[in-house]
Amino acid sequence: MGFDLQTLTAALDSGRQYSYLPFSLHIFDSVASTNQTLWNLLAQGAEPGCVVIATQQTAGRGQWGRQWISADGGLYVSVAIHPKIAATDSYQLTFATAWGIAAQLRNCGINVGIKWPNDLVLDSRKLGGILTETKVNQGKITQAVIGVGINWANPVPDTGINVESWQASQLVKPIACLEMLTAQVLLGIESGIQCLFEEGVNVLLSRYLDLLTNMGDRIQVNDHVGTIVGVTPQGNLRVNLETYNTKETILPEIYIQPGTISLGYQKSSV
């Protein structure tokens, strides 16, 4: 699948509200991993704002070391930043990216939500995911690579959805081409990072929670039932457990780390 740099650059320039990231674009038909390719470029002296884009990955990575199936026709993009935040706050970068992309696509008319901690969802199915990798020195993140995979026209499992099939089902086409999708994703990443560093994590978390599809869900935690009420700045899920005694209902709050519980997806009935 060919990629038109001129179309992408024009879409980026026309939609740009910030100049937070000096985008330097590197486009490939296929790479093992856009994140790894970007780390290699950083080792060779690439600056923050460097971007690697591919329409296929042969060894894509997801969270917790899982394989990320990255078939031809999807969008796989990684962006380098130098955030200089505490290593314990790395999830703020993922939240900023998720909110920024979801908000940007919603502005285009695609009703994207966020599934904790790092998935983008559309019609209750997985549209994309985010993988943030960092290098740390003395407790601070000195370099970060934010990788994003979005289903554009690639095949997806029953629990997934891609933009082209969704647009066809809605008889609308707010995103006309892969280059336009790429531009919207990059603009979304930039706006999310700008929100985090200019407006602060509390503003970012409030916006993230507004689009979090899990808010208010009742889930099973060990032998207890609880309700999802938010997330912490470190990325943990806030859950109010329901425990009962003879006098009143008590709702103790617990914090669940990413990777220790799966909120799952329902399979499409289509």
**Confidence label for 86 from pLDDT (cuts 50, 70 and 90):** very high
pLDDT at 249: 59
Tokens representing 13 are: 């320039």
Residue 200 has pLDDT above 80, yes or no: yes
**Residues 101, 182 contacting (CB under 8 angstroms):** no
Top-confidence residue, 193 or 20: 193
Residue 70 has pLDDT above 70, yes or no: no
Q: 10 Å Cβ neighbour count for 6?
A: 8
The predicted model gives 208-228 an average pLDDT of 90
pLDDT at 69: 57
pLDDT at 260: 79
As a three-state string, the secondary structure of 148-213 is EEECCCCCCCCCECCHHHHHHHHCCCCCCCHHHHHHHHHHHHHHHHHHHHHHCHHHHHHHHHHCEC
**Confidence label for 21 from pLDDT (cuts 50, 70 and 90):** confident
**Confidence label for 205 from pLDDT (cuts 50, 70 and 90):** very high
The predicted model gives 127-141 an average pLDDT of 96
pLDDT at 221: 83
> Across all residues in the chain, what is the average pLDDT?
89
Top-confidence residue, 219 or 186: 186
Residue 64 has pLDDT above 50, yes or no: no
pLDDT at 244: 63
Residue 35 has pLDDT above 90, yes or no: yes
Tokens representing 150 are: 């979005």
Residue 108 has pLDDT above 60, yes or no: yes
pLDDT at 211: 97
pLDDT at 18: 79
SS3 133: strand
Share of residues in the chain with pLDDT > 90 (%) = 71
pLDDT at 269: 40
- Which amino acid appears at position 223 of this protein? D
Residue 67 has pLDDT above 60, yes or no: no
Give the span between the Cα atoms of 78 and 23, in whole angstroms: 11
pLDDT at 225: 87
- Give Cα separations from 264 to 11, 16, 78, 97, 119 (angstroms): 35, 35, 25, 21, 11
**Confidence label for 154 from pLDDT (cuts 50, 70 and 90):** very high
The predicted model gives 50-68 an average pLDDT of 72
- The DSSP H or E segment spanning 115 is strand 113-115
Give the residue among 213, 122, 214, 126 at the shortest CA–CA distance from 170: 122
User: Which letter does DSSP use for residue 41 in this model?
Assistant: H
pLDDT at 220: 86
Share of residues in the chain with pLDDT > 70 (%) = 90
Residue 270 has pLDDT above 50, yes or no: no
